[in-house]
Structures are given as C-alpha cells and as structure tokens.
C-alpha cells in the first residue's frame, strides 16, 4: 500500500475532500457539532490530505497560535485506519513545521484514546485532561 500526503490550502480543488473526511470522522462518527468543527482558522491554515493507493484517506492542518505551533484536525476515515495514514500525516506536518518553529513549542490537543499513538511519534502529554467538543482531550508537546 502506498501512502502519499499532499499539502493544500483552504478553498482549493482538494478542500471539498478535506471537508468530507472531517465531516465523516468528526461530525458523523464522533458526534461533534458541525458548528464547532469548522472555524475561523480554516483559511489561514496549511492543510494536508493523505491518500492510500490514490484514495483520499485522511487530513490534518496546523496553525500558529499564541502558544506556538498547533497541529490540529487529524482525521483518518475508519476504513483506512491501521495502515499508517495517521503517522504519515503527523510526519508530513512536522516536516513542514519543525524547520520554521525556531524553538517555539509544537503541540496538539489529543483525544485521550489517541495518546499512545502520538507518544510513539514523539509527543509527550502535559497538563490536565479537558473537554473539547464534548470529547476528553489532553495537551501534548513535541519532544522528538
């Protein structure tokens, strides 16, 4: 199986596919309110779309915040999980962010069941658990 990740931006040809994946994973599967899923940062963020054997499989984005570089909206369609799509997305986003981070924190808000996944990729949890979009999360920072 071949995984490729393409960088894209809000509103381009791949945007509708990104929206479909996020809708399926977050709104349908995880019952996140659609109003919470799409936000004012969409047009500011670089987005990434992963393909498994040319089929759209997952997506992610990153943005700069007051705390550093936040990696967000990691979503892999259920049928494409366990093939390395999520790892490929994390690695692609990090490949872009690490050279420009200049020592600033790189972090994400992980759903608690995904903590082991992100830990294997070099993230470490910090702080207390919290609720975001009605789902239990924990902040994680990149430690390499």
Domain residues of the chain, as ranges?
3-101
Q: pLDDT tens per residue, the chain (144 residues)? A: 899 999 998 888 899 999 999 999 999 999 998 888 888 889 999 999 999 999 999 999 999 999 999 999 999 999 999 999 999 999 999 999 999 999 899 999 999 999 999 999 999 999 999 999 899 999 999 998
Q: What global pTM score does this model have?
A: 0.94
In CATH terms, the fold of domain 3-101 is Aminopeptidase (3.40.630)
User: Rounded to 5 degrees, what angle do the CA atoms 51, 132, 23 make?
Assistant: 35
Q: Which residue reads 């996944």 in tokens?
A: 117
């Amino acid at each position: 199986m071949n995984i490729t990740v393409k960088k894209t931006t809000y509103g381009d040809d791949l945007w509708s596919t990104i929206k479909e994946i996020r809708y399926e994973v977050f709104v349908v599967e995880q019952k996140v309110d659609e109003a919470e899923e799409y936000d004012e940062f969409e047009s500011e963020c670089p987005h990434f779309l992963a393909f498994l054997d040319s089929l759209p499989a997952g997506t992610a984005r990153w943005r700069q915040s007051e705390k550093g570089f936040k990696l967000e909206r990691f979503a892999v369609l259920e049928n494409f999980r366990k093939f390395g799509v999520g790892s490929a997305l994390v690695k692609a986003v990090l490949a872009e962010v690490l050279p420009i981070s200049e020592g600033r924190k790189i972090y994400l808000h992980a759903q608690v069941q995904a903590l082991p996944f992100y830990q294997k990729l070099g993230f470490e949890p910090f702080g207390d658990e919290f609720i975001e979009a009605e789902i239990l999360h924990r902040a994680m920072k990149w430690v390499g």
